[in-house]
Structure 1
Amino acid sequence: MFLISAEKFSLWKKKQISKGGDNHSLNLLIDSLGGLSNIELNLLKIKSEKVLNLNLDLDFIETLWDKHLNTSIPIQYLSGISFWRDLKLEVSNKILIPRPETELFIDIVSGIFKNKKEKITFVDLGTGSGAISIALALANPNWSGIATDIDKSAIEIASRNFKTNSNQSNLKFYNGNWWDPLENFKGEIDFAVANPPYIPQDTYEVLPIEVKNFEPKLALLGGKEGLDHINQIVQNAPLYLKNKGWLLIENHFDQGEKVK
């Protein structure tokens, strides 16, 4: 634990912002590694504590901030941590950083399956950090969840994230491509969610540097039109979903009609 006066911390923070970057990114780094949340940082503006407790010293945090400014490496990869909804998730550069818009999955599913006591089996295809599947499992302890990913290291990280954020046992993890690990669940799944690679080739080439240069191409590029993986998921869905089961897919803003 590192102690620092609130005044010294405020001066240090002003110095970092003066170098460039934005306040949100710096706050994210401070929260991830320093252990000071946004709420605590905002409280400093109205109620300045004499001494703050940090998990790491400011020199180390500053080194990472400088690296972010000089290379555009996302804060989440520098810290190894991403915040999503109310979850604190481990991430690596082999995993897509969970996006705020993906939180809509949770709201949509909640609107479809309103009976919390109903026994539901769901699948999260290409789980990455496990964000979607973990959020659904935590919100619905009576449900049985399955998460798949083609990357073994992603499955290991997602599994650790579930254990870190929960003491439940209603979510299992399987290594494999989309539906492939689920032969024993054919016709038994109430709904599946997927946030597959859906970026078209032309769009991928002009993505911001912090995305294209650092986030995994495997998790972003969906082929020439962005539909290669979505086609695979949709074609095999009837084998695994129950009659009148649901398939929810995140796609590019202009792919909606084609996906339907």
Structure 2
Amino acid sequence: MTARRWTIGELLNVSALYLKDKGVESPRLTAELLLALQLGLERVALYLRFDQPLQGEEVAGFRELIRRRLLAEPVAYIRGEKEFWSMVFDVGPGVLIPRPETELLVEQVLQIVRQTREHADDRIRILELGTGSGAVAVALATSLPSSEVWATDISSEALAYAGRNVERHGVSERVHLLQGGLWEPVSPLGVRFDFIVSNPPYVASEIYDTLPAGVRDYEPRVALDGGEKGMQVVSQIIEGAPGFLVRGGWLLIEMSPEQTEAALGVVAQQEVYDSARRVEDYTRRYRVVMARRT
């Protein structure tokens, strides 16, 4: 009996329905991304070749990718990359996958720069704590050509990805990668920063086991688990940042919407910040807390 000869369009349609039946999020997009990966094409090119027949080994390879996704492996890990700030970043096991809501950190820094800097070429020193893949550091460095960025992470695996992404986007001369927890790697530098930004671990330990399997079982816990109520690292950053900020420098931290009020309370207790506020993400939920050192 002759095996069925699938076209790109037929395989996409059948796979999307199959993934939907299995409860996979964004089934059509998932099928398109994985088939494009298997065929070495851009996703849009699939629709230009809808009637193209596929070879048996191409179908078999695609089915293996689908199998991995059904085991909850993130699409970004399967593909080895993720888009952030309209750029593509290398990702994989051992590094947190960049999320769209984290772009809010970049947007807010750029907004402050536009509002407060008279000259576009004024030097700006930025520190990112917990850089992961380096997405935020690279986005800031490319958006602010006069900036110099120090990006830290406790994980050597994450810094390996960050190093590749810094090179990939041509900012290695202005993005300095340092290994260590929080202030440890920057304390010896004697540098004060205009901005300190962070997407720290903020998942509460007590709910960690309830996370979706693709997050809980694949992404690094060290980048996610923020201790009791998820506030351990957030509080440490708020308390320690004034010693590393210039006067008038800004601290911006991403966190869970449910934590923003408590974080503003920690900010107020320090008595060294002003202009403290929280900023909504695209879903109209508070996502970033920011404050200026007086």
Could you state the TM-score of these two structures normalised by the residue count of structure 2? 0.77
* Distance change in 2, residues 1:254/1:135 (3 Å): same
Matched, 1:60 2:61: yes
Give me the whole-angstrom Cα distance separating, in 1, the residues matched to 2:140 and 2:53. Answer: 35
Shift, 1:35, TM fit? 3.9
For residue 32 of structure 2, the aligned residue among 17, 27, 32 is 27
For residue 209 of structure 2, the aligned residue among 198, 205, 208 is 205
Instruction: Check conservation: 1:33, 1:79, Cα contact below 8 A.
Output: no
Shift, 1:50, TM fit? 7.1
* Distance change in 2, residues 1:87/1:144 (3 Å): same
Counterpart in the other structure of 1:84: 84
Matched, 1:132 2:136: yes
Give me the whole-angstrom Cα distance separating, in 2, the residues matched to 1:258 and 1:172. Answer: 32
Per-residue CA deviations over 1:176-221 (Å, capped at 9, x if unaligned) read: 1122111244452100110001111233221112211221111111
* Distance change in 2, residues 1:183/1:33 (3 Å): farther
Counterpart of 1:66 in structure 2: which amino acid?
R
Counterpart in the other structure of 2:255: 251
Structure 2: where are the runs of 5+ without partners? 1-5, 265-294
Shift, 1:251, TM fit? 0.8
Moved more, 178-187 or 106-115: 178-187
Instruction: Check conservation: 2:38, 2:61, Cα contact below 8 A.
Output: no
Per-residue CA deviations over 1:92-135 (Å, capped at 9, x if unaligned) read: 22111111111111111111011432210001110000010001
Give me the whole-angstrom Cα distance separating, in 2, the residues matched to 1:129 and 1:29. Answer: 22
Counterpart of 2:7 in structure 1: which amino acid?
K
Shift, 1:48, TM fit? 5.2
Counterpart in the other structure of 2:267: none
* Distance change in 2, residues 1:254/1:225 (3 Å): same
Give me the whole-angstrom Cα distance separating, in 2, the residues matched to 1:206 and 1:33. Answer: 32
Counterpart in the other structure of 1:18: 17
Match of 1:83, SS? strand
Counterpart of 1:140 in structure 2: which amino acid?
L
Instruction: Check conservation: 1:138, 1:168, Cα contact below 8 A.
Output: no
Shift, 1:9, TM fit? 1.3
Counterpart of 1:156 in structure 2: which amino acid?
A
Instruction: Check conservation: 2:8, 2:49, Cα contact below 8 A.
Output: no
Identity %: 31
Match of 2:103, SS? helix
Shift, 1:231, TM fit? 1.7
* Distance change in 2, residues 1:19/1:225 (3 Å): same
Shift, 1:239, TM fit? 1.4
For residue 241 of structure 2, the aligned residue among 237, 241, 258 is 237
Moved more, 213-222 or 122-131: 213-222
Counterpart in the other structure of 1:4: none
Could you state the TM-score of these two structures normalised by the residue count of structure 1? 0.86
Moved more, 88-97 or 117-126: 88-97
Instruction: Check conservation: 2:201, 2:222, Cα contact below 8 A.
Output: yes
Per-residue CA deviations over 1:25-45 (Å, capped at 9, x if unaligned) read: 22333455544334434xx2x
Give me the whole-angstrom Cα distance separating, in 1, the residues matched to 2:91 and 2:206. Answer: 27
RMSD: 2.4
Count of paired positions: 248
Counterpart in the other structure of 2:231: 227
